[in-house]
Structure 1
Amino acid sequence: MNSEPHSASYHGIDFVDTKEYKRFVEFTEACMEYRYIGICYGEPGVGKSFAAEHYLNWDDQIVVSSFVEHLPSTIIEKVENCRGVLMIAPVVNSPKIVQDRIKRGIEGFGVARDRMRGETNIVTLIYDAPKLCPLVVVDEADRLDIKSLEQLRGIQPIKCIFLSSGHLITFGKNITHYGSVGRNVQSSKAMA
Structure 2
Amino acid sequence: MNQRFIVTKEHRRFTEFANAVRRGHTIGLCFGPAGVGKTLSARRYARWDQTHDLLTDWGPRTEDDANVYAALAKSRTVLYTPSVLTTPRTLQEELHEVVTRTNICIEQHLHPVGQGPIVTSRKRHFENYVQLIIVDESERLRATALELLRDRYDRDNIALILIGMPGLEKQFSHYPQFYSRVGFAHQYRPLGNDELLFVLQRHWVTLGKTLDPADFTDAQAIAAIARITRGNFRLLERLFPQVERILKINELDTITDDVIEAAASTLVIGVT
Q: 1:178 to 1:125 in 2, by over 3 A?
A: farther
Aligned to 2:207: none
Q: TM-score, normalised by structure 2?
A: 0.58
Q: Give the conservation status (yes or no) of the 8 Å contact 1:41–1:166.
A: yes
The one-letter amino acid paired with 1:149 is: L
TM-aligned CA deviation for residue 138 of structure 1: 0.5
Residues 37-58 of structure 1, C-alpha deviation per residue, up to 9 Å, x if partnerless? 1110010000000000011102
Q: Secondary structure at the match of 1:38?
A: strand
Aligned to 1:40: 30
Aligned to 2:139: 142
Aligned to 1:61: 53
> Is residue 157 of structure 2 the alignment partner of residue 157 of structure 1?
yes
Structure-1 separation of matches of 2:10 and 2:28: 16
TM-aligned CA deviation for residue 62 of structure 1: 3.4
Q: Give the conservation status (yes or no) of the 8 Å contact 2:136–2:162.
A: yes
Structure-2 separation of matches of 1:89 and 1:57: 18
The one-letter amino acid paired with 2:103 is: G
Higher Cα Rg: structure 1 or 2? 2
**Higher helix proportion (structure 1 or 2):** 2
TM-aligned CA deviation for residue 171 of structure 1: 3.0
TM-aligned CA deviation for residue 169 of structure 1: 4.3
Q: 1:153 to 1:37 in 2, by over 3 A?
A: same
Aligned to 1:73: 63
Q: Give the conservation status (yes or no) of the 8 Å contact 1:37–1:159.
A: yes
TM-aligned CA deviation for residue 64 of structure 1: 7.6
Q: Give the conservation status (yes or no) of the 8 Å contact 1:85–1:109.
A: yes
Structure-2 separation of matches of 1:34 and 1:44: 28
Segments of 4+ moved more than 6 angstroms: 122-125
> Is residue 121 of structure 2 the alignment partner of residue 127 of structure 1?
no
Structure 2 segments unaligned to the other structure (5+ residues): 115-119, 191-272
Structure-2 separation of matches of 1:125 and 1:157: 23
TM-aligned CA deviation for residue 70 of structure 1: 5.0
Residues 14-67 of structure 1, C-alpha deviation per residue, up to 9 Å, x if partnerless? 22111111110110000011111111001000000000001110232332887x
Aligned to 1:3: none
Q: Give the conservation status (yes or no) of the 8 Å contact 2:139–2:168.
A: no
Q: How many residues are matched? A: 176
Residues 173-192 of structure 1 aligned to structure 2 (within 5 Å)? 173-174=173-174, 177-179=175-177, 181-185=178-182, 186-192=184-190
Structure 1 segments unaligned to the other structure (5+ residues): 1-10
Q: Give the conservation status (yes or no) of the 8 Å contact 1:146–1:178.
A: no
Residue 85 (structure 1) aligned to one of 68, 78, 85: 78
TM-aligned CA deviation for residue 101 of structure 1: 1.2
**Higher strand proportion (structure 1 or 2):** 1
Question: Quick one: percent identity of the two aligned structures?
Answer: 22
Structure-2 separation of matches of 1:51 and 1:128: 29
Q: Secondary structure at the match of 1:118?
A: coil
Q: 1:159 to 1:107 in 2, by over 3 A?
A: same
Q: Secondary structure at the match of 1:154?
A: helix
The one-letter amino acid paired with 1:60 is: H
TM-aligned CA deviation for residue 136 of structure 1: 1.0
Q: Secondary structure at the match of 1:161?
A: strand
Q: Give the conservation status (yes or no) of the 8 Å contact 2:69–2:108.
A: no
Aligned to 1:106: 99
The one-letter amino acid paired with 1:92 is: L
Structure-2 separation of matches of 1:32 and 1:99: 21
Q: TM-score, normalised by structure 1?
A: 0.81
